[in-house]
């Protein structure tokens, strides 16, 4: 790989880098020249950056040394410890993590998701019908956000009459923009699930909130707070990344009509296209761990308590693993990307997310829907998730 003579200024924690800049130049340089790179403290703690595929995978594999219990996302030091630390699925270490995961694993297994497919197809069809009626839409808000939200609401036992309300709240809670609006919307979501979990604890149904509200782990019921934090984990996990990946994939297709045509000509390509969308969009920008003991990576000593950050989009463009990593190719095989994580905390919703993407693109292709740009997309201003915040398009029905 050619070494670049002048190193770029490295600052991966500037949100604008992801909305208006080019993080790939920095990641490429880091992979080639400084695979274990120290980012000094700012309002965020200092941390080690891992940018190579193999290093991220190796660290992922060692959940004892690289713990999730103190948070998996960088957060300002003044915000203190993550409230979910040691309590939610994403923020616990083994052995408790395994026990929490065992409660819900079955719900997200291939067989269960296959059983849900007819309903998911109906939801997807309804969302596409509505967008076609509107014609001119924001693909993020009107299409990509709705499918995963309605599906996870269904799995969690949220009555259908409340889906639209939760859609409004999650749109406000996740949108970049006024932090106060986001905070209030999030509090309202928590309030909603507080009421729902109490109702499900008293009268359990066949849904995820009932599972959590009645769960016994290590001989004890989960506390109402723990149930709530885990519901939040499922709702956020179930919607945010899929929304951005679906929209980011659509953007990639609009920029490369040949790839969409290839897919239209051969439906068997859908599974590999979905993998390529996941790799290409790598919507989870970073995932953090905290070292529980001394470790060494490429001769660099990592001390107990140090934060270590995995940059997933960088790992997924590692030229030592992927041929032509900067090319979006629906035929790509193999495609062992890390967009859904790896190891102990591998994405619980991986099967669901893949099916959602397949059904959405399949629905558009099957009906020969034309999706055309209708203005400039806007990218998210965030170091946590990356991809389109807004994607204005015109959607037109295909020839009957």
The contact set with ligand HEM (CB under 6 A) reads 68, 72, 89-90, 101, 148, 152, 233-234, 237-238, 241-242, 245, 278, 283-284, 287, 339-341, 345, 347-349, 352-353
CA–CA distance from 375 to each of 17, 261, 387, 400 (Å)?
21, 22, 16, 27
* DSSP designation for 321: T
Nearer to ligand HEM, 29 or 84 (CB): 84
Please state the closest distance from residue 50 (CB atom) to ligand HEM, in A: 12
Q: How far is the CB of 278 from ligand HEM (least distance, A)?
A: 6
CA 61, 67, 69, 74 torsion: positive or negative? negative
| HEC assignment per residue over 222-254 | CCHHHHHHHHHHHHHHHHHHHHHHHHHHHHHHH
Smallest distance from ligand HEM to CB 190, Å = 16
Judged by CB, which is closer to ligand HEM: 185, or 340?
340
Place of tokens 């000509």: 265
293, two tokens = 């003991």
Q: Which is nearer to ligand HEM, 153 or 340 (CB)?
A: 340
Q: Please state the φ and ψ torsions of residue 114, each to the nearest 5 degrees.
A: -60, -40
Nearest residue relative to ligand HEM (C-beta): 349
SS3 69: coil
The distance of closest approach from Cβ of residue 3 to ligand HEM in the complex, given in angstroms and rounded to an integer, is: 30
Which residue lies nearer to ligand HEM by CB, 23 or 148?
A: 148
What are the residues whose beta carbons fall under 8 Å from the beta carbon of 360, sequence distance 6 or more? 124, 128, 143, 144, 147, 246
Burial class (CB in 10 A: 0-12, 13-18, 19+), 116: middle
Task: Please say which residue, 93 or 363, places its beta carbon nearer to ligand HEM.
Answer: 93
DSSP secondary structure, 140-185, as one string? IIIIITHHHHHHHHHHHT--GGGHHHHHHHHHHHHSSS-HHHHHHH
As measured in angstroms, the least distance from the Cβ of 141 to ligand HEM is 17
- From the CB of 396, what's the least distance to ligand HEM, in Å? 26
State the nearest-atom distance from the C-beta of 118 to ligand HEM, in Å. Answer: 18
10 Å CB burial of residue 182 (0-12, 13-18, 19+) is: middle
In the complex, least distance from residue 350 CB atom to ligand HEM, rounded to whole angstroms:
7
Pick 36 or 353: Cβ nearer ligand HEM:
353
Identify which of residues 68 and 259 has a Cβ nearer to ligand HEM in the complex.
Answer: 68
**Residue 152 Cβ, how far from ligand HEM at the closest point, in Å?**
6
- Residue closer to ligand HEM (CB basis): 26 or 283: 283
* 80-115 burial code (b ≥16 CB/10 A, e <16): eebebbbbbbbbbbeeebeebbebbeebbeeeebee
Q: Please say which residue, 295 or 348, places its beta carbon nearer to ligand HEM.
A: 348
Q: What DSSP designation does 92 have?
A: -
């Amino acid at each position: 790989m050619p070494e670049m003579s002048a190193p770029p200024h490295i600052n991966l924690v500037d949100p604008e880098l992801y909305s208006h800049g080019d993080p790939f130049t920095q990641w490429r340089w880091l992979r080639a020249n400084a695979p274990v790179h120290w980012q000094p403290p700012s309002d965020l703690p200092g941390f080690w950056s891992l940018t190579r595929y193999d290093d991220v995978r190796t660290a992922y594999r060692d959940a004892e040394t690289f713990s999730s219990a103190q948070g998996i996302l960088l957060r300002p030091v003044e915000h203190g410890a993550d409230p979910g630390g040691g309590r939610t699925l994403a923020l616990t270490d083994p052995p408790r993590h395994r026990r929490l995961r065992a409660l819900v694993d079955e719900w997200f297994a291939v067989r269960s998701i296959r059983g849900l497919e007819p309903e998911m197809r109906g939801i997807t069809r309804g969302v596409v019908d509505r967008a076609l009626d509107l014609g001119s839409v924001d693909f993020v808000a009107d299409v990509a956000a709705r499918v995963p939200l309605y599906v996870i609401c269904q799995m969690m036992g949220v009555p259908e009459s409340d889906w639209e309300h939760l859609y409004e709240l999650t749109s406000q809670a996740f949108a970049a923009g006024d932090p106060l609006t986001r905070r209030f919307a999030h509090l309202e979501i928590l309030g909603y699930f507080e009421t729902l979990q109490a109702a499900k604890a008293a009268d359990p149904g066949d849904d995820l909130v009932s599972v959590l509200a009645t769960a016994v782990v290590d001989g004890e019921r989960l506390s109402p707070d723990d149930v709530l934090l885990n519901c939040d984990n499922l709702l956020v996990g179930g919607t945010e990344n899929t929304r951005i990946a679906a929209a980011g994939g659509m953007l990639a297709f609009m920029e490369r009509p040949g790839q969409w045509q290839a897919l239209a000509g051969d439906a068997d390509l859908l599974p590999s296209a979905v993998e390529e969308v996941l790799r290409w969009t790598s919507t989870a920008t970073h995932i953090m761990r905290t070292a529980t003991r001394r470790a060494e990576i490429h001769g660099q000593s990592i001390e107990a308590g140090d934060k270590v950050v995995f940059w997933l989009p960088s790992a997924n463009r590692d030229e030592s693993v992927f041929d032509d990593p900067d090319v979006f190719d629906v035929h790509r095989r193999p495609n062992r990307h890390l967009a859904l994580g790896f190891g102990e905390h591998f994405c619980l919703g991986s099967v669901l997310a893949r099916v959602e993407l397949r059904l959405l693109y399949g629905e558009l292709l099957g009906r020969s829907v034309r999706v055309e740009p209708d203005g400039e997309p806007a990218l998210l201003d965030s170091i946590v998730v990356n991809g389109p915040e807004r994607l204005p398009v015109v959607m037109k029905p295909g020839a009957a």
